[in-house]
Chain A
Amino acid sequence: MATQPTVQPKEKTIAIIGNPNVGKSSIFNQLTGLNQKIGNYPGVTVDKTLGYLNNSGKQIQLIDLPGTYSIFPKSEDELIALRVLTGMEEEKPDAVMVILDACNLERSLLLGTQVLDLGLPLAFVLNMKDLAEINGVKIKTHKLYETLGVPLVMTDARKSVGMEAIRSLVFDEKFGKGQLFLEITEIANQELLEKVRDKFGLQNLYQAFQYLIFADSNKLLSSMEKEWIEEVCRQFHFDRQAAQIEESKRRYAKIKEILKDTISSSSAKTSKFTKNLDGFLLHPLLGYLVFIGIMLLIFQAIFAWAGVPMDWIDLGFAELSAWISSYLPEGVLTDFIAEGLIPGIGGIVIFIPQIALLFGFLAFLEDTGYLSRVVFLMDRIMRPFGLHGKSVVPLISGLACAIPAVMATRTISNTKEKLITILVTPWMSCSARLPVYIIIIGLVIPAETVFGFNMQALALLGMYLLGTVATLIGAFLLNLVFEQKERSFLLTELPIYRFPRWKAVLLTMYSKSKVFVFEAGKVILSISIILWVLASYGPPTTMNTLEAEKITLLEAANSEEDATEIEELYASKKLEASFIGILGKAIEPAIKPLGYDWKIGIALITSFAAREVFVATIATIYSIGGDVDNELTIREKLAQETRPDTGEKVFNLATGISLMVFYAFAMQCMSTLAVVKRETKTWKWPILQTVVMTAVAYMAALITYQILV
C-alpha cells in the first residue's frame, strides 16, 4: 500500500495465483513496487492486494491472490481464489498468471491445470528455475510450453530476472486459453454437471464441478439453491470428497506423464544449506534456545534502537510546541495548536520506530522461512493450551499489533483453536503498550546494569513475559470450557531458507507503519482534540470564578516568581475544574486502590479507544496550562508530578508497576474489537473479551499496588 494509484482508466485486470512460498508476492512486488493498495473482499477478512502497472497511458490492475495448493475451497483463502477466478467477486479477471515453482512442478501444476480448466486466458510463470537446476532438476521449457499450450515465462523473482518478459506478456496481451487438461466427465456425471452449469449460467463443466464441491461454503448461494444442489447430488449419488480425491489423483497422473518428458530430476535433492541449518535450528534443544535467543534479540533491539528515534520525536514535538506558542499570537487557536494538536500528532508519530521495527523483524523471519520452523518447534508446546502450532504466528504478530494478528488466525482451519487464538491474542504485548511501558519504566525503574543486563530492558522483558504467560493461561482455561468439534491437524510445508529480500522487508515496514499512522492516527488525533477541548473548558461559573481569583492575586503579587507560582497553581486548579477533571474525579474512588489519581483516570478512560492514546493523553493533560516555553519532554513532566496532598511523586514504583499491569491485561483497543467481531461474526466474543480482560486487569493492578505500596 502506498501511493495512490495514478488516475488512469483501468483497462484490464489480471489475477496472480500460486502455491504458498512460490515467490508470488515477490513477483507482484517487483512488478508494482509501491503502486499497491490493500482492500477487502466483502464478508471475509482476507486482504485484497491490488497493484497497478502503467505503460504509455495503459493501466493494468493486478490482484495478488492468497497462496493456495488448489482451488478446492477448504479455507477462506482458497474460497477467495475461487471466487475471484469464477467472477463471483465484482468482476472476473481478464486473465490469470499462474506462478509455478520450478523446484516443485508436480504440485504447482495441480493448481495450474485446475485454473487452466476453468477456461480463463492464462499464462504460466516458471519461477526459481535456476534454483531448480542447482538442485538437479532440469526442465525442458519449450517442450513444457508445447504440452501445456499456453504462454510460459521464466523468472527468478528474487534476482528480478524475467520481469520485462512478464511486462511484455501483460501489455501485449499474450495470454492464451489452453486445451482442457482433464475431462471432468470421467469423474462426475455429465448430466449432473450440465444441470448445474445451466442452472447457474456457468461457462463450462469444470466450473460446474467446482460449484458442486464448493456449494456448502458458498455464501452467495441462497438456502434454496443450496438445497437444490444437495438434492441433485443425492439424485446422482455424487460423493463430494471422493470426487475431489479422484480429481486430484487423475490430475497428478496426467501431470506425471507430462513431467516424464519435460523434466529430468534423477538427482533431485533439497537444499544442502537448508538441511544443515535445520540440523541446528530444529534441534530438540538448540532449536528452542535459538528461538528464545531470537526473541530476546528482537526485544533488546527494539528497546535500544527504537528508543533513540523516539527520544528525537519526543523532543522535536516538545520544541515545536514551544516554538509555535512563542511565535504565534496568543489566543485560543495558538493554545489549541501548541497544547492539543502538536502533542496529539506527536503521540502518533512516536510509535513509528517501534511498529516499523517489529513488523520489520516479523517480515524478516517470514521471508527467510524461519517462521515455519517456529510452527514446527512450538506445535507440541501449544497443544496442551488448546492452541495450534500455527497459533504461534498470530501470537508473535500480536507482539506488533493484535489487529493483523487476529486476521492471521485464518490460516488455522480448526474452529476451536482459531477461536481460542483470537480470544487470547490481545493479551500478547502489542506495540501500542510499548510506549506506555517505556515511559513508565523510564520513570520508576533505575537505569542500572545487573549481570550485564540493563534493568529497564529486563523490566520490559518481564512485561512481555507477563502478557505471554497470561495468553497461555487464558488459552488453557478456554480449552477446558470449549468443546472440540472437528479433528485438529497439522500438515505444512517446510520452505527452504532464503536470504531475506531487504526491499520486501522495508516495504512491509513502510506499509504497516503507514496503515497505523492513517488508521489508528485518525482515532488518536480526534481523541486528542476532544481531550484538549474537555481539558481547556469547564462549567463557566467555576471557571470564571477561578479566573477572577487568579487576576486578583496576580495584581497583588510582589515579584515575578510569585506571579509564576500563581499561574501554575491556577492552571492546575482549572484543569481540576474542567470537564475532563470532573470525569477523572468521578472515577477516582474506583481507581484510588490501584494507586492512580484523577489525571491517570482520564488517561485510562481515553485509552479504552486505543492504548496508544495514553501517551497522547498524558502529553495533553500535562501540557495544558503548563509552561510550554520550558521544553520539557513528556517523561520529564511526569517525573516532576507530585501528589498535592502528600507531596510524594505520583509515578512511584507501586503506581508505575500497577499501571503497567493494568495496561497488560485490559482490553483497550476498539479496532481489535471490530476485527474480532468481523472474524467471529458475532458481538458476543468481543463483548466477553472486553468484560473479562478488563476485570482481570483491575484485579491484577489492585493486587500489584497493594503488595508493592
Chain B
Amino acid sequence: MKSALEMHPNQSYIIHSIIDSPLQVNFLEIGILVGKRIKLLHQAPFSGSIAFEVGNNMVFMRISEAGLIQVIPEVAEQELELQELKSIKSNHPLQPS
C-alpha cells in the first residue's frame, strides 16, 4: 500500500483507504471512494496540482490532499484476491488434500 503521491503515471491502482481528516466528506462527495480505480494523469510543475482519473471521472487536488489517499496497484489487488480465493479453497473441508 502506498500514497497516491507515489503512483506511477498511467498505471491503474485501487483506492484502499483514505486517511482520516476533515476532508473525508469532500472526498466522498466528489466520488473518491474506497475500491475505485485511480490513475495519475498530470502534475503541475514545482509540486503543483495533481490530476487523477477516479472511476470514469477526472479530479485534481494539491499534494497535501493526494497524500491522504492510500492505494494499491490494481494488479496487486487482483493477485491478492486470487490468493485469498486460493487460501479459501485450500482450507475448504471438501478440498482434496
Interface string of B21-58 (1 = CB under 8 A from A): 01111111111010000000111111111010101111
Inter-subunit contact B44/A491 (CB<8 Å)? no
Known contacts being A248-B29, A491-B65, is A270 close to B58, with CB within 8 Å?
yes
Interface residue B62 (Cβ < 8 Å from any Cβ of A): yes
Q: Given the complex, which residues of B lie within 8 Å of A285, measured CB to CB?
A: 45
Interface residue B61 (Cβ < 8 Å from any Cβ of A): yes
Inter-subunit contact B62/A379 (CB<8 Å)? yes
A380 CA to B42 CA, complexed, in Å:
14
Interface residues of A in 441-471 (CB under 8 A from B): none
Interface range on chain A (Cβ under 8 Å from partner): 35 or more
- Minimal beta-carbon separation of B5 from chain A (angstroms): 15
A271 CA to B26 CA, complexed, in Å:
24
Known contacts being A69-B29, A284-B44, A489-B26, is A104 close to B56, with CB within 8 Å?
yes
Inter-subunit contact B28/A248 (CB<8 Å)? yes
Interface residue A282 (Cβ < 8 Å from any Cβ of B): yes
Number of residue pairs A-B, CB distance < 8 angstroms:
116
- Minimal beta-carbon separation of B3 from chain A (angstroms): 16
Known contacts being A241-B25, A491-B30, is A274 close to B49, with CB within 8 Å?
no
Q: Given the complex, which residues of A lie within 8 Å of B43, measured CB to CB?
A: 284
A278 CA to B43 CA, complexed, in Å:
11
Question: Which of B22, B23, B58 has the most chain A CB atoms closer than 10 A to its own CB?
Answer: B58
Inter-subunit contact B30/A69 (CB<8 Å)? yes
Known contacts being A104-B31, A107-B31, A282-B51, is A274 close to B44, with CB within 8 Å?
no
Interface string of A262-304 (1 = CB under 8 A from B): 0001001110001100110010110100000000000000000
A107 CA to B59 CA, complexed, in Å:
13
Inter-subunit contact B49/A496 (CB<8 Å)? no
Inter-subunit contact A269/B61 (CB<8 Å)? no
Known contacts being A282-B44, A379-B44, A389-B49, is A496 close to B58, with CB within 8 Å?
yes
Interface residue A685 (Cβ < 8 Å from any Cβ of B): no
Of A245, A274, A492, A496, which is within 8 A of B25 by CB?
A245
Of B31, B45, B58, B65, which is within 8 A of A380 by CB?
B45
> In the complex, which residue of chain B has the Cβ closest to the Cβ of A381?
B48
Q: Given the complex, which residues of A lie within 8 Å of B22, measured CB to CB?
A: 241, 487
Known contacts being A278-B51, A490-B61, A492-B61, is A380 close to B46, with CB within 8 Å?
yes
Q: Report the count of interface residues on B (CB-CB < 8 A).
A: 32
Inter-subunit contact B28/A252 (CB<8 Å)? yes
Of A252, A377, A389, which is within 8 A of B33 by CB?
A252
> In the complex, which residue of chain A has the Cβ closest to the Cβ of B48?
A380
Inter-subunit contact A376/B33 (CB<8 Å)? no
Inter-subunit contact B59/A493 (CB<8 Å)? yes
Q: Given the complex, which residues of B lie within 8 Å of A103, measured CB to CB?
A: 56
Q: Given the complex, which residues of B lie within 8 Å of A376, measured CB to CB?
A: 42, 44, 48-49, 51, 60
Inter-subunit contact B45/A104 (CB<8 Å)? no
Interface string of A118-138 (1 = CB under 8 A from B): 000000000000000001010
> In the complex, which residue of chain B has the Cβ closest to the Cβ of A493?
B59
A495 CA to B59 CA, complexed, in Å:
8
> In the complex, which residue of chain A has the Cβ closest to the Cβ of B59?
A493
> In the complex, which residue of chain A has the Cβ closest to the Cβ of B62?
A490
Question: Which of A241, A245, A380, A381 has the most chain B CB atoms closer than 10 A to its own CB?
Answer: A380
A681 CA to B17 CA, complexed, in Å:
40
Interface residue B95 (Cβ < 8 Å from any Cβ of A): no
A70 CA to B62 CA, complexed, in Å:
22
Question: Which of B22, B24, B41, B60 has the most chain A CB atoms closer than 10 A to its own CB?
Answer: B60
Interface residues of A in 136-160 (CB under 8 A from B): 137
- Minimal beta-carbon separation of A177 from chain B (angstroms): 25
Interface residue B87 (Cβ < 8 Å from any Cβ of A): no
Interface residue B64 (Cβ < 8 Å from any Cβ of A): yes
Inter-subunit contact A269/B56 (CB<8 Å)? yes
Question: Which of A72, A379, A496 has the most chain B CB atoms closer than 10 A to its own CB?
Answer: A379
A274 CA to B48 CA, complexed, in Å:
20
A220 CA to B81 CA, complexed, in Å:
52
Inter-subunit contact B64/A489 (CB<8 Å)? yes
Inter-subunit contact A493/B30 (CB<8 Å)? yes
- Minimal beta-carbon separation of A575 from chain B (angstroms): 57
Inter-subunit contact A104/B30 (CB<8 Å)? no
16 contacts between A and B (CB under 8 A): A72-B29, A74-B25, A104-B57, A107-B31, A245-B25, A252-B33, A269-B56, A275-B41, A379-B62, A380-B44, A380-B48, A489-B62, A490-B49, A490-B61, A491-B65, A493-B58
Binding site for A on B (CB under 8 A): 22-31, 33, 41-49, 51, 53, 55-62, 64-65
Closest 7 CB pairs of A and B: A380-B48, A494-B58, A69-B29, A268-B56, A107-B31, A248-B28, A284-B45
Binding site for B on A (CB under 8 A): 69-70, 72, 74, 103-104, 106-107, 110, 135, 137, 241, 244-245, 248-249, 252, 265, 268-270, 274-275, 278-279, 282, 284-285, 287, 372, 375-377, 379-381, 389, 487, 489-496
